[in-house]
Amino acid sequence: MPKVLMPIGDATEAMDTLYPFFRIPEDGFQVVVAGPEARLYHTVLHEVPPNPDVPWDLTQERPGYHLKADVAFRDVDPAEYAGMFVSGGRAPEYIRYDKDLMRITKHFFEAKKPVAVVCHGIEIVSAADCIRGRTVTTVAKCALDAAQGGAKYVDRPIVVDGNLVSARTWHDNTPFMKKFMEMLKG
């Protein structure tokens, strides 16, 4: 069964992560979750509160489910994987400093394997210098991360540029996952 790598860390966004975690195996791919260490991680729920009496400029964070990483980044051989799915949340803010995750990410782009990136996941591919010259989308508050990585940011549900498909948030999951699965099977 071909494998898809899913890097996570504490504060990985639950909807960004769990929908693809269950969707990808439906088409015969094994999801392998990786983290800074092989252990249990805490996900979070991010949404702009729907209460108009208390306006928020950004998302509110609440505790989510737990998800276990099967392998530590340092033990991942990216050659064993058909693709990579990078979710958002706050985890990308700190796991992008992991040298092994940068090594892994670069492999997928150099090998032109399918990569899916949603929301704050753009921070990982930007830090790995893999989006320079590409067009991407992400949550609007991460447009600067895309630009600093040398990409052109556009506000669209999904953008495909070569082996990369990017989405703004989990609200775009349906077209996002449809395209990623087409890329994996292609």
Question: Tokens representing 39?
Answer: 């252990």
CA distances from 174 to 143, 158, 171 (A): 22, 10, 8
Catalytic residue among 42, 66, 120, 171: 120
Element (H, E) at 126: helix 122-127
| 1: number of Cβ within 10 Å | 7
CA distance 123 to 4: 19
Is 66 a catalytic site residue? no
Q: Give catalytic residues, as residue numbers.
A: 120
